[in-house]
Amino acid sequence: MDPAVPAAITPETFSFISLFLRADWVVKSVMTGLALSSLWSWTVIIDKFFRFSVLNGQADKFENQVSSGRSLEDIAAEAGERPKHALPRMLQGALREWRDARGKGLSTDSQAAFLIQRIDRVLDTTIAREAQRVEDGLGSLAIVATASPFIGLFGTVWGIMNAFQEIAIQKNTNLAVVAPSIAEALFATAIGLIAAIPAYVAYNKFSTDASRYTGRLEGFADDLSTAIQRRLADRA
């Protein structure tokens, strides 16, 4: 047995806990920061998963009510004064503008056109606010996905520098001497990838879900505008 090779090296030496505890403060800081970033990204992922499930489920239910042939006024009244979902808020906003304009009279085509413009603005405002709300948190996923690999790489480079310093100090190029230090360094990159990959996949998925949900709201807004125009045509 080579006396220059440490006899204390065992399989447990390369366990995750041992690698973390043996690392210097820089690599520990990198690992801790990446672990917290991963925890935060998973919090956002779980929140977005259930939020989109609930939003789409509520949208399906409300769209079924609208397509059932019932009066839009009755459906809007059943939604309550301050509905949480965007679709009933859009319906109530459009009907509010319709009632206000009808109370003031719609005697000319210009007044009817102005009513449609007002309704479109109300619907666009609701869509913009809802889109911003559903996209909240996606920016943090993007940051974790893009920055984590580089932060982990920094920890790896720092750890390898320490490994080379250890080689120079001990004047021993035996791999067993520096294997723990190299393992610590590579562990930082592994944690960076563990944090980045789920965040990257989730960011792309939820960005697509947000775009689809916004498109769904825009489609509902077009249907509402068409319904109001149909009412105006019937009054002509």
pLDDT digits (tens, 9 = 90+) for 78-118: 888 888 889 999 999 888 888 887 777 765 767 778 888 88
Q: Tell me the average pLDDT across 202-227.
A: 93
Torsion 8-14-15-21 (CA) sign? positive
What would the DSSP string read from start to end of 87-146?
A: HHHHHHHHHHHHHHHHHH---SHHHHHHHHHHHHHHHHHHHHHHHHHHTTTHHHHHHHHH
Confidence grade of residue 134 (pLDDT, cut at 50, 70, 90): very high
- Mean pLDDT across the stretch 12-30? 71
Find, among 44, 221, 229, the residue nearest to 129 by Cα: 221
What is the pLDDT confidence band of residue 8, given thresholds at 50, 70 and 90?
A: low
Interval 141-192: pLDDT, tens: 999 999 999 999 998 888 888 777 777 777 766 666 667 777 778 888 889 9
Inter-CA distances, 224 with 67, 72, 93, Å: 12, 10, 10
What confidence score (pLDDT) does residue 131 get? 92
| pLDDT at site 57 | 94
Find, among 92, 75, 41, the residue nearest to 195 by Cα.
41
* Predicted pLDDT of residue 6: 47
